[in-house]
Structure 1
Amino acid sequence: MSVTNYPFELPALGYDYNALEPHIDARTMEIHYTKHHQAYVTNLNNAVKGTDLEGKSLDEIMRQSGLSMATRNNGGGHWNHTFFWKLLKNNGGDPTGDVATAINNSFGSYEEFKTQFTQAATTRFGSGWAWLCKQEDGSLQICSTANQDNPLMPDAQTCGGTPILGLDVWEHAYYLNYQNRRPDYINAFFNIINWDEVNRLYSGQ
């Protein structure tokens, strides 16, 4: 089985459930990973089975127009979460390298980036994601998507470009610890960003 090709499977998390405490608690991580993400994988396999999508990679499926709602929602859920887990590590610190330069050039400062990213994540009505995307000229843009949509989807309302950072703002990502305090969860996220992974994505590796 494969993370990126049918039949899809849950990817390895890469760290313990409690690795991101106190910013994300162990119980939330366990439920989020083993229940929510696993459900997207299971439902995506059911949606793709017996269709011409069986031979396509997850990236190819995400870039295809006219998907069924089951494939779009569960494929997006699988892609988004697989992307998200790699972006997290405790004591992430501040951005470095090319991404730090791009953030300063695009937003003026890291603090201004945080302000704009927080705004996008906070004002996403209902469930969805906030994204940082690299444009063709190397500049960065911030946007958000509803539900499990992502910037790869050709008909999603996004800033386009290549996603290099994303934040899950569905309530299941934070409610046990933060309840309705989404802004507190977003603020905590800045402590656990894996900037090495963001730099890798920015460089196209």
Structure 2
Amino acid sequence: MAFTLPDLPFAKDALGPHMSAETLDYHHGKHHKAYVDKTNGMLAEKGLEGASLVEVIKTAKEKGDKGLFNNSAQIWNHSFFWQCLAPEGSTRPSGKLRDMIASDFGEEQNLLEKLATESVNHFASGWGWLVLNNGKLEITSLHDADTPVVHGMTPLLTIDVWEHAYYIDYRNERPRFVKTVLENIVNWDFVAQNLDGKGIERADQGARAKAHA
């Protein structure tokens, strides 16, 4: 069963002026789609036609198959990333998430600044992550296509710091891109939902993912 390019959970112009429709045309419509197409092209020869996306990622990691891992992990990373975004002002941290932010970071701005620092200072391509670890919020980053799927992490929020995420709207200004996204278009409802530990499933697709939906 081939994987598909998931639809964006918002209109292409819904994140403006912070993320343009043109960026989404390229980032989602070309870069993300390329990972889907390349992964699908490898499934048959790897004997993984019936596997879920998460199963493909884990198998590729275990076998040291870098090509399959990089492309399949990027499908998952991007699918998760789109769900982390929402139109400006549409969601705010609330309930348990708000309380955890206060407990672990003091205030929301401290969380945003620390996640921004981690993401901006991440060398070369990769992803900044807010994860849940032993009941506490933690910030980390992963290189290139690496993903929480293979590290036993509980992902809550991510920000893409590959240059293709921001070169149209921000040129080479990663700090401005990261700050703008984190302070304006985070889908805090999705972040809060992931406190249930099911974040990995929310970007999965394929046979087993559908069976457990």
**TM norm. shorter chain > 0.5:** yes
Q: What's the secondary structure of 1:54's corresponding residue? A: coil
Aligned partner of 2:204 in structure 1 is none
Matching of residues 50-61 of structure 1 within 5 Å: 50-61=45-56
Offset at 1:174? 0.6
- Equivalent residue letter for 1:87: C
Offset at 1:62? 2.7
Percent of pairs with identical residues: 38
Aligned partner of 2:42 in structure 1 is 47
Q: What's the secondary structure of 2:127's corresponding residue? A: strand
Q: Relative CO higher for 1 or 2, CA cutoff 8 Å, sep ≥ 6?
A: 2
Aligned partner of 2:33 in structure 1 is 38
User: Is the CA contact 1:102–1:138 (under 8 Å) kept in the aligned structure 2?
Assistant: no
Q: Whose helix proportion is higher, 1 or 2?
A: 2
Looking at structure 1, the residues matched to 44 and 122 of structure 2 have their Cα atoms a distance apart, in angstroms, of 32
Offset at 1:56? 2.0
Q: What's the secondary structure of 1:53's corresponding residue? A: coil
- Equivalent residue letter for 2:99: T
| Structure 1 residue 167 corresponds to structure 2 residue 159 | yes
Aligned partner of 1:87 in structure 2 is 84
Aligned to 1:203, which of 190, 196, 204?
196
- Equivalent residue letter for 2:95: G
Aligned partner of 1:107 in structure 2 is 105
- Equivalent residue letter for 1:11: P
- Equivalent residue letter for 1:114: L
Larger CA deviation: 67-76 vs 52-61: 52-61
Number of residues paired by the alignment? 194
Aligned partner of 1:146 in structure 2 is 143
User: Is the CA contact 1:169–1:182 (under 8 Å) kept in the aligned structure 2?
Assistant: yes
Aligned to 1:76, which of 73, 78, 81?
73
User: Is the CA contact 2:92–2:189 (under 8 Å) kept in the aligned structure 1?
Assistant: no
Aligned partner of 1:3 in structure 2 is none
Offset at 1:14? 2.5
- Equivalent residue letter for 1:18: D
Q: What's the secondary structure of 1:80's corresponding residue? A: helix
Q: What's the secondary structure of 1:82's corresponding residue? A: helix
Gap change, CA 1:103 and 1:66, over 3 Å in 2: farther
- Equivalent residue letter for 1:97: G
User: Is the CA contact 1:106–1:139 (under 8 Å) kept in the aligned structure 2?
Assistant: yes
Gap change, CA 1:109 and 1:63, over 3 Å in 2: farther
The C-alpha deviation readout for 1:130-189, integer Å capped at 9, x for no partner, is: 001112x321111111111111124xxxxx521110000111111111111111101111
Looking at structure 2, the residues matched to 79 and 67 of structure 1 have their Cα atoms a distance apart, in angstroms, of 18
Q: Could you tell me the TM-score, scaled by structure 2's length?
A: 0.86
Listed as ranges, the gaps of 5+ residues in structure 2 are: 199-213
Listed as ranges, the gaps of 5+ residues in structure 1 are: 1-5, 155-159
| Structure 1 residue 10 corresponds to structure 2 residue 18 | no
Structure 1 residue runs of 4+, over 6 Å off? none
Looking at structure 1, the residues matched to 99 and 159 of structure 2 have their Cα atoms a distance apart, in angstroms, of 21
